[in-house]
Amino acid sequence: MMPHRFICTITILCALIRTSSSLGAERSSLFSGGDGLTKEHAVVIHAKREDDGTKAEYAWIREYHPGAKVELQSLISADGRIYDCIEVVAMDGSRQKYYFDISEYFGRLD
C-alpha cells in the first residue's frame, strides 16, 4: 500500500512541476524589454487585445512586486510609442512608477 501512495505522490508532483514550468514560459513570453523604471527601459507587453494586455501588465506587477497595490494608471504617448505608467504602493509604503510599452495592442479590442 505504501509504495503505491509514494508513486502517486511522485507522479502528481512531476505533473505540477511540468505545469508550473509551462506557465512560467507562457508568462515570460508576454513580457520583454527592461525593468520598467523609465520609458526607455519600459516593460514591453506582447498581446493581441487590450484586455489581454492589461491582464499581462497586472500579472507582471504581481510577479515582480508581490503584494504591491496599484495606485494610479496613466496613458502616455511619446516617440511614436504608447505607454501605460502605473504607480504602485509596495507593502512597506514606498511608491514606484512602472512604464509598460503597450503599442503592440493599444486600441485592439477584438
Check whether 89 has a pLDDT greater than 80.
yes
Q: How confident is the model at residue 6 (pLDDT cuts 50, 70, 90)?
A: very low
Q: Are 53 and 75 in contact (CB under 8 A)?
A: no
Q: What is the pTM of this model?
A: 0.72
Specify the amino acid at residue 34: G
Q: What pLDDT, on the 0 to 100 scale, is given for residue 3?
A: 52
Kindly report the CA angle at 104 between 53 and 44, in degrees rounded to 5? 70
**Grid cell 507562457 in the structure block, residue:** 26
CA angle 97, 52, 103 (to 5 degrees): 60
Question: In the predicted model, is pLDDT for residue 43 greater than 70?
Answer: yes
User: Residue 101 and residue 83: Cα distance in Å, rounded?
Assistant: 5
Max Cα-Cα span within the chain = 67
Question: For the segment 48-70, what is each residue's pLDDT rounded down to a tens digit?
Answer: 999 999 999 999 999 999 999 99
